[in-house]
Amino acid sequence: MNNPKIEKLVKDLLIELGEDPKREGLQKTPHRVAKMYTELTKGYKTSRKATINGALFSQNVDNMVILKNIELYSLCEHHLLPFFGKCHVGYIAKDKIVGISKIARVVERFARRLQVQERLTQEIAAELQDALKPQGVGVVIEAQHLCMMMRGVEKQNSVMVTSAVLGNFRSDLATREEFLTIINKH
């Protein structure tokens, strides 16, 4: 990422908004914003190999594994405003399991990009399906979008829910219902 170029763009934006980038409170803002966008979009610079990092383990189990309430923070690609919430991931292993922290890292990898929630949900599910080759995967994301809360319709209590179900989570109603029941228990 070209931070000096981003800093110049932010400085120009401040000027276009009617601000003085030389004002004490704004002098370091271009640098801070460039650094922030580098952090918030770090998912572009990571690969599956680096994310999962050899944490696939041969295991002959066929029970459902669920990691719920994974915090996520992302940026809406339409307005560059944050959306944030929780991601719930479940899978039924076939031959392999994955270290649980790696599930959270997969979520982080795709969340730290310019996103729409619908694609984010699908990317997480597809990545886990492809890496683990499980019997099935389920992903549900519940998120609040500042682009809807701070501007436009200004609905502060709205929560968007998206789901992606693959394999037996899609084909077997009982499997899907078990997953949804477990993630909705407090």
44-61 residue pLDDT tens = 998 888 888 788 889 888
pLDDT at 148 over 90: yes
Cα 55 from Cα 49, distance rounded (Å): 10
Cα 173 from Cα 168, distance rounded (Å): 8
Query: Whole-number mean pLDDT of the chain?
Result: 95
Cα 175 from Cα 138, distance rounded (Å): 10
Domains and CATH numbers, the chain: 3-40 (1.10.286.10), 55-184 (3.30.1130.10)
Average pLDDT over residues 130-155: 95
Average pLDDT over residues 147-164: 94
Average pLDDT over residues 142-154: 94
Which amino acid, one-letter code, is at 39? E
Pairing state of beta strands 82-92 and 96-98? unpaired
- pLDDT level of residue 145 (50, 70, 90 thresholds): very high
- pLDDT level of residue 159 (50, 70, 90 thresholds): very high
72-93 residue pLDDT tens = 999 999 999 999 999 999 999 9
pLDDT of residue 73: 98
pLDDT at 1 over 70: no
Question: For 102, how many CA atoms within 13 A lie in the half-sphere containing its CB?
Answer: 18
Beta strands in the chain (DSSP E): 56-58, 64-76, 82-92, 96-98, 114-115, 136-145, 160-167
Tokens at 19, concatenated: 């601000």
Catalytic residues: 76-79, 117, 145, 147
Tokens at 27, concatenated: 């002098």
Give the global pTM.
Answer: 0.93
Q: What percent of the chain has pLDDT over 90?
A: 87
pLDDT of residue 47: 87
95-127 residue pLDDT tens = 899 999 999 999 999 999 999 999 999 999 999
